[in-house]
Amino acid sequence: MTKEEKEALIARLEERYLKKYKKKFRVGIEEAIQNTLWGYGLDLSRCIGCRRCVYACVEENNCSREKPQSQWIRVIRLKKGSLINLEDSEHYYNPELVPEKEFLYIPVQCQQCENPPCVRVCPVHATWKEPDGLVVVDYNWCIGCRYCIAACPYRGRIFNWGEPNVPPEHWNTSVHYLGNRPRMRNVVDKCTFCIQRVRMGRYPACVEVCPTGSRKFGNLLDPNSEIRYVIQNKRTFRLKEDLNTEPKFYYFFEA
Binding residues vs other proteins (CB under 8 A): 33, 48-52, 54-55, 66, 69, 71, 74, 91-99, 200-203, 207-208, 210-213, 215-218, 226, 229-230, 233
For other proteins, the closer CB: 181 or 215: 215
The whole-angstrom separation of Cα 148 and Cα 121 is 6
CB of 98 to other proteins, least distance (A): 5
For other proteins, the closer CB: 118 or 207: 207
Counting every residue written for the chain, the total comes to: 255
CA angle 242/213/96 to nearest 5° reads 90
For other proteins, the closer CB: 148 or 230: 230
CB of 250 to other proteins, least distance (A): 12
The whole-angstrom separation of Cα 96 and Cα 98 is 7
Element spanning 153, H or E = none
CB atoms within 10 A of CB 18: 13
DSSP lists the bridge partners of residue 219 as 38
The whole-angstrom separation of Cα 192 and Cα 90 is 24
CA angle 5/141/163 to nearest 5° reads 110
CB of 185 to other proteins, least distance (A): 17
For other proteins, the closer CB: 7 or 31: 31
By three-state DSSP, how is residue 221 classified?
Answer: coil
CB of 8 to other proteins, least distance (A): 30
CB of 125 to other proteins, least distance (A): 30
For other proteins, the closer CB: 99 or 153: 99
Element spanning 197, H or E = helix 195-198
For other proteins, the closer CB: 75 or 119: 75
CB of 233 to other proteins, least distance (A): 8
For other proteins, the closer CB: 122 or 188: 188
CB of 170 to other proteins, least distance (A): 16
- With b meaning 16 or more CB within 10 Å and e meaning fewer, what string describes 196-211? bbbbeeebbbbbebbe
The whole-angstrom separation of Cα 115 and Cα 100 is 35
The whole-angstrom separation of Cα 182 and Cα 63 is 8
